Each structure stands twice: as structure tokens, then as C-alpha cells.
Structure 1
Amino acid sequence: MNNILEVKDLNISFHTYAGEVQAIRGVNFELKKGETLAIVGESGSGKSVTTKSIMRLLPKSNSEIKQGSQILFDGKNLAELSDKAMEKIRGKDISMIFQDPMTSLNPTMKIGKQIAEPLIKHQNFSKAQAKQRALELLELVGLPNPEIRINQYPHQFSGGQRQRIVIAVALACNPKVLIADEPTTALDVTIQAQILDLMKDLQNKIDTSIIFITHDLGVVASVADRVAVMYGGKIVEVGTVDEIFYNSQHPYTWGLISSMPSIDTEDDELFVIPGSPPDLLNPPKGDAFAARNRYAMAIDQSEEPPMFKVSNTHYAATWLLHPDAPEIDPPEAVQRRRKQFPGNVTKGEK
């Protein structure tokens, strides 16, 4: 598949009273046409900052995309585009679904007008054409009685219905890339499942590429083709869903997998990764995860690990993949999953 979006050496800082926070540090990934890439990690790992930088939605007052950063889309580096140029892309070619639908919708505008707005702006639709398309979109996202509901306000809908409306707004111009920033976190599990099914169905219908941000690995398993694991402003592991779930190599990914409840869990308490994420005002010298990693070696304290190749689609930044690293036994939850993996578990190469 061809890459529709490429992020290369992305570095983003926030300038605060305390100093420069190096929020994103050398992030690289690509999004292929028609695929869903999930970006996972704890709160504060850099997921939302990375994707907001693609949309150029970071606050100008204190954020800075460092020189040399590249966000390549449709032959352009989005990191260098003017605000006026980005306005032509944002909402048309790249759209975003935010976490809380109530704050994404204008409470004073009828939902039909909100769905029609990008169509009038980007597609030069007349008001009548935009209204007809809005009705089609409401039907597409499964909202009942669209002819009546198109004239209602956001407060007249449930949380799940509002999220469907937000998805309709995002899909109005048939974007090439759709960014979903934890779109189901505020919803109960039943509605969450419906929204995830809806997004998979819509992706097949309009052939868009999706970046799905979440901290819930259970959600990842049901929606993603590939997974990028973020920690401390960096991507520490990337691979297909099966590779991340059944052959994960980074100790941080092991921690995330071990903290997932399952029917096999016998302990009364869930696993918790000890410690806290690093202070990115003063990023650690070696591996950012070393202080929380029970498998850390001396080299983790002084040298940052490179990305080691596990397979053609699977890479991980951990010294445990070095040919000279000792053999270790990962957590039981990871070992159980590895037994289900069809491929071989081998050391990587730099």
C-alpha cells in the first residue's frame, strides 16, 4: 500500500514558565492508504500532541514544531504551511473527531447547519445541496429520523448520538485522513462498541485512512491494522496488531498488555506499571522507560536504544533486542500471548 501520510523526525516543544518541555522527540511513522493506525500509550505520552500537530491545532502562543520536522501529505510538508494553506486542508482532506462530542459541537447551532458548513466552505455546495448531503450523512452514521433531527440542537441528543453527529461532520467532505482522538472514552461500553463498528463500516464505504488514538488496548484489537506504542514523547514499538499483541518486545508494551484484565486473570489485583512518566522538562539521558523498567540494564541509564528490527513490519526501541542482551522471561500475560503467536520470537537487528 502507498503511504498517504509520513511523519519524519517530528520534534515539538512547549515553552512554559518552568522551561522548555520537549513533548515530542524524534517521532517517525507512516499511514498507508485505507489502513487504521492506532497510537497507544499512557496519558501524557504525546499521542494527542502528535496528531494535533498534523492538523496544526497546537496553540501558537507557546508551542513550537522544531525545524527539520516533516509532516508529508499530498506532496506538502504540513509543518511549514501557512495558516491560510492549512485552512484548505483542515476539514477537507484531513478531519478530526475529538474525545468529547459536546465540546466539539456548537450548542447554539442546529446540527444540520454544522454538518453543512464544511460542505459549503470546501465543496462550494449550495445551501440546498448541503442540506441534502447532511441528511444523507445522518442516515449514513445511523441516526434515526434525520429529516426531523437535522433541525435540532446538540443538547437534544444523547452522548452516543452526538458522537455520531461529530463523525458525520468529520466525514462530510470525504477526507483522505481521519484522526480519531479517543472518540469513545466518554461513552458507555455498549455505545462504544456501536461507534467502533460504525467507524469500521464507514472506512470500508469511503476508503479513508484512520489514525486512532487511545489508551485502551482492547479498543485497538478491534479497530487497528497496525499499532504504534508511544512513551515519553517517542514511539518505542510499532508493528501489526498481531505482532504487538502476541509478540511484543518492549517492556513498556509488556506493561500495557499485563495491565489488561482478562478471563485468565487469577490475581485479585490488576498489574500496574510502577512509577510515573518522565519529566520532559529534563528528558532522561538513556532509555526514558528505564526508571520504571524492572528489566533495565546499565546501558539503559546512559544510552538511548535505537529501533531494532524484529520483522519487516515490526520494530522496537529496547536494548533487550541487542544480540548481546541476556535472555529474559517477560511477564506471564506476555508469555501466554506469545504461545499463541504463529511467527518465531527472535532477537532483532539494528
Structure 2
Amino acid sequence: MNKGDRLLDVKDLKVSFRTYAGEVQAVRGVTFHLNKGEVLAIVGESGCGKSVTAQTLMRLIPTPPSYIKSGSILFEGKTDIVKLSNRQMEKIRGSEMGMIFQDPMTSLNPTMKIGEQITEGLIKHRGLKKKAAVQKAIELLKLVGINSPEGRIHQYPHELSGGMRQRVMIAIALACSPKLLIADEPTTALDVTIQAQIIDLMKSISEKTESSIIVITHDLGVVADMAQRVVVMYAGKIVEQGTVDEIFYDPQHPYTWGLLRSVPRLDTNSDEELIPIPGTPPDLFAPPKGCAFAARCPYAMKACLEEDPEHTPLSETHSAACWLLHPDAPKVERPVQIGGHQHV
């Protein structure tokens, strides 16, 4: 795939927060790309920097206390999001990029009817008249699988169930046919059956509208069922990235192994215990000088504590940042429990 097929190119992105205690280095030199029409998943534990990365793509992080230290976010090969003013960003946000937040109850305005919240962007960004915007809102509610949309547009968020509110959030994000849709933990607040419906809905939307989607999640079941490529983040950095099959069947970083071993497998009858990753992530006030995962890694060597490894390319699409991939490193046998994925 050539660079002309890329919708987004993120290079060496660093984002920090100024606090009374000092600088928190939330995102520490992240580089990845997103192709047109692709679903990319960014996975990792809470606090690894995945949500800050996603919100920075749309310039939604509060400034101050946050600030972008360095890097570029190239949209459609020409617009650097980092350099845009707030006014320029407002034109892109909602029309070119849409976001689905984790908790629709806190993201929807409780004092506005559903219809008003969907038509707002259509009137502002697409210049539609009220009547045409209402008609479009009804079509969007049908698209996201809400019954009797003509009546629903007159309801308030508290009158809908959690799953329906999340569908409304998706309808708002889709209203202006954005080229990029960012979904930040879109199924966390939902029960399992509704989760599966929302995942199916987002997959069909990606196919119908040809929009690119970035899914931020810690749920590897969501990843297996939705994404084509995966970025694994730890302590503000990318430690591994590759296609879904490369990450699930041929993972190369011990942190990725740990994530996969701590997820229940539904495709085997064994009574294997889930193995949690011991320890806690490092303090991002003062990140370690070596590999951030070294303190929790059973395979850590002296080099891991002293110097951060570079990414080693493993294929055109797969790379990992681990000293175990160095030609002089000892050969390590990968844990047997990992590999394979179960569809939600």
C-alpha cells in the first residue's frame, strides 16, 4: 500500500501534562499510520497513553495542563493537525473527524433532545436547513439500528437505554460523514450482548461508509472482531504493531504475550488459569531510561534496564521494540498459552 492510501500519519508524537508535582510524560514518541477504509486498534492497560493519543488526534485534550511537546499528525497527507489553530480545528472536528466516547451519558447533553444533538453538526458543518437536517437525523438513527426514529428524535438521553445512547453517539459522530472515526472504549459501559451489537454496527458502518476507524480498547475480543491492524502501547510508547493475525498468532514482545495470556480463551476446553502481568506500570513523572516494561518482564536483561530498544522490523507490517529480537540476545521460548483469537 502506498502513502497515497494513508489517511493519517502520526510521527514522533510526544504529549505531556504540567502538574504541581512536575511533568507527566503521557505519550512518548508515538509513530503509526492509518490507511483509508481501515480499522486500527490501539490496545494497552489503563494509563498507557492510548486515550491521550486518540484525543490529541482531534485536539480534544485540555491545554493547559496538557501540551504537545513534539511530533506531527498529518491528515490526508497535507494538513498537520498539530499546527492548526482552535478555529481551524473546529472546522475539521465533526465534519472530517468524529469521536465516539466511552460513556454516552456524560457525552450527550441531558438538556437537549436527541434530534437537536444530531442536527447541530449537520446545520453547522453541512449548512442544511432545519427540515432537511431532521430528515437526515432520522436516517442516521435508522442506520445505527434504532427503532421508531421519528419518535426517538423528540426524546432526551435519560429516556433511552445505555445501548441506545451509545447508538445515538455513533449517529452524531457519523452525521457529517467523517473520513476518520475514533472510538474510545466504545463498549466498556455496555453488557456483553449489547457490546456484540455495537461491534457489528461499527463493522458494517466502516464497510458502508468507507470511513477509517481507530478503536481504543483494552478488550482483545473487540480487537479480534473488528480491526485489521493492531498497535500495542505501554507506558506512553508503542511496543509492538502488526496485522491482527501477526499480533494474535505471532506476537514478539513479552508485554503482548502477557496481554494475550491474561484473556480467557473460548476456543479450548482446558481449565488453564489466567495469568495476570505482575507489578504495575512505571511512573510517567520519571520514566525509566531503559525499556519501560523491564521491571515487570521475566526475560529482562541488563541491556533492558540501561537502554530503550529500537523497533525491529519483522515483516512489512510487523515490528516490535524488544532487546530479545537482537541477534545476540538469548533465545527465549514463547509461552504456549498464547495465540489464536475468539470472535465476540
Q: Give runs of aligned pairs for residues 324-339 of structure 1, distance below 5 A.
A: 324-334=328-338, 337=340
> Corresponding residue for 1:303?
307
> Corresponding residue for 1:131?
134
Deviations 1:236-295 (A, max 9, x none): 000000000000000000000000111437456421000000101001010000000001
- Secondary structure of the corresponding residue to residue 178 of structure 2: coil
Deviations 1:273-318 (A, max 9, x none): 0000010100101000000000111100101100001111100000
- Secondary structure of the corresponding residue to residue 311 of structure 1: coil
Deviations 1:191-237 (A, max 9, x none): 00000000001111111000000001111000000000000000000
* 1:119 counterpart letter in structure 2: L
Deviations 1:48-79 (A, max 9, x none): 00010011011112111013x10101311111
Higher alpha-carbon deviation: 322-331 or 211-220: 322-331
Runs (5+) with no aligned partner, structure 2? none
- Secondary structure of the corresponding residue to residue 142 of structure 1: coil
* 1:73 counterpart letter in structure 2: F
Say whether residues 1:257 and 2:260 are aligned partners.
Answer: yes
Distance 1:258 1:90 in 2: 38
- Secondary structure of the corresponding residue to residue 14 of structure 1: strand
* 2:107 counterpart letter in structure 1: S
Say whether residues 1:194 and 2:166 are aligned partners.
Answer: no
> Corresponding residue for 1:122?
125
> Corresponding residue for 1:321?
325
- Secondary structure of the corresponding residue to residue 283 of structure 1: coil
* 1:70 counterpart letter in structure 2: S
* 2:276 counterpart letter in structure 1: V
- Secondary structure of the corresponding residue to residue 115 of structure 1: helix
Say whether residues 1:270 and 2:264 are aligned partners.
Answer: no
Distance 1:38 1:265 in 2: 28
> Corresponding residue for 1:71?
73
1:280 corresponds, among 267, 284, 302, to 284
Whether the aligned pair in 2 keeps the contact of 1:247 and 1:337 (CA below 8 Å) is: no
> Corresponding residue for 1:348?
none
Whether the aligned pair in 2 keeps the contact of 1:108 and 1:153 (CA below 8 Å) is: yes
Q: Give the count of matched residue pairs.
A: 336
Distance 1:84 1:95 in 2: 16
1:113 corresponds, among 113, 116, 131, to 116
Deviation, 1:109, is: 0.6
Whether the aligned pair in 2 keeps the contact of 1:24 and 1:46 (CA below 8 Å) is: yes
- Secondary structure of the corresponding residue to residue 90 of structure 2: helix
* 2:72 counterpart letter in structure 1: Q
Deviation, 1:337, is: 4.6
Q: Give runs of aligned pairs for residues 31-70 of structure 1, distance below 5 A.
A: 31-67=34-70, 69-70=71-72
Distance 1:308 1:192 in 2: 35
Distance 1:267 1:65 in 2: 46
Distance 2:336 2:278 in 1: 17
Deviations 1:128-178 (A, max 9, x none): 110000010011111000111111111111000000000000000000000
Distance 1:268 1:232 in 2: 28
Q: Give runs of aligned pairs for residues 198-209 of structure 1, distance below 5 A.
A: 198-209=201-212
* 1:118 counterpart letter in structure 2: G
1:214 corresponds, among 196, 210, 217, to 217
* 2:121 counterpart letter in structure 1: P
- Secondary structure of the corresponding residue to residue 173 of structure 2: helix
- Secondary structure of the corresponding residue to residue 24 of structure 1: strand
Say whether residues 1:22 and 2:25 are aligned partners.
Answer: yes
Whether the aligned pair in 2 keeps the contact of 1:10 and 1:65 (CA below 8 Å) is: yes
Identity of aligned residues (%): 63
TM-score normalized by structure 1?
Answer: 0.94
* 1:298 counterpart letter in structure 2: K
1:223 corresponds, among 220, 226, 244, to 226
Distance 1:333 1:151 in 2: 51
- Secondary structure of the corresponding residue to residue 103 of structure 1: helix
Runs (5+) with no aligned partner, structure 1? 339-350
> Corresponding residue for 2:100?
97
Supply the RMSD in Å over aligned alpha carbons: 1.2
Distance 1:103 1:265 in 2: 40
